[in-house]
Amino acid sequence: MLTTAFWIGMFDRAVKSFCQALLLLWGGDQLLNMLEINVGAAFGYAAMAAVLSILTSFVSAPVGESGTTSFLPGGH
């Protein structure tokens, strides 16, 4: 957890999780109908997805390859 690669990987995964959750909420149910989307709630859910991604990275640090955010060996 004390390497730059770990923190970059964690940030990268958190941003991806945030964007994926936002796209799911905006595009999955409303078909991008911007007039009916609760933007505040969507950003809240996306932020929670990012937090869960960060927590997953911390939990996987002692399990996977040293210095990475992956559970699996050889993952980055």
67 belongs to a structural domain:
no
Query: Residue type for 23, please?
Result: L
**Residue numbers of the domain that contains 10:** 4-60
User: How far apart are alpha carbons 67 and 5 in whole angstroms?
Assistant: 7
CA 60, 7, 72, 15 torsion-angle sign: positive
User: How far apart are alpha carbons 12 and 41 in whole angstroms?
Assistant: 23
pLDDT averaged over consecutive 10-residue blocks of the chain (76 residues)?
A: 85 94 76 70 93 91 75 64
pTM of the prediction? 0.77
71 belongs to a structural domain:
no
| pLDDT for position 33 | 63
What's the structural domain count of the chain? 1
| pLDDT for position 25 | 80
